[in-house]
Amino acid sequence: MEFYKDQLVNVTIEDMGKDGTGVGKVDGYALFIKDAVIGDVVRAKIMKTKASYGYARLTEILKPSPHRTEPVCPFARQCGGCQLQTLAYPQQLSFKENAVRQNLGHIGGLPKAILDSIMEPIIGMENPFRYRNKAQFPVGRDKDGQIITGFYAGRTHKIIPNRECYLGIPQNSAILDTVINHMEKHHIAPYDETSGKGLVRHVLTRCGFQTGEIMVCLVINGKNLPHAEKLAHQLETIPGMTSILLNINKQRNNVILGETNTLVWGKPYITDCIKDLQFCISPQSFFQVNPRQTEKMYEKALEYAALTGEETVWDLYCGIGSISLFLARHAKKVYGVEIVPVAVQNARANARLNCLDNIEFFTGKAEEILPAKYQDGQMHADVIVVDPPRKGCDTALLDTILQAKPRRVVYVSCDSATLARDVKYLRQGGYELKSVCPIDNFPMTCHTEAICLLSI
When computed from its CA atoms, the radius of gyration of the chain, rounded to whole angstroms, is 24
Task: Check 79, 217, 318, 414 and give the catalytic one.
Answer: 414
Question: Contacts from 142-150 at CB under 8 Å and sequence distance 24+?
Answer: 147/180, 147/183, 147/184, 147/190, 148/180, 149/176, 149/179, 149/180, 149/203, 150/75, 150/79
Measured CA distances, 416 to 133, 151, 194, 310 (Å): 24, 26, 36, 31
414 annotated active-site: yes
- DSSP secondary-structure letter at 189? P
269: nearest Cα among 219, 208, 201:
208
Q: How many residues does the chain have?
A: 456
Measured CA distances, 292 to 274, 287, 288, 443 (Å): 8, 12, 10, 12
Q: Label residues 132-148 b or e (16+ Cβ within 10 Å = b).
A: bbbbebbbbeeeeeebb
Burial class (CB in 10 A: 0-12, 13-18, 19+), 356: middle
Rounded distance between C-alpha atoms, residue 317 and residue 394, angstroms? 12
Q: How far is CA 399 from the centre of its chain?
A: 27
CB–CB of 46/5 below 8 Å? Answer: yes
Which residues are known catalytic residues? Answer: 414
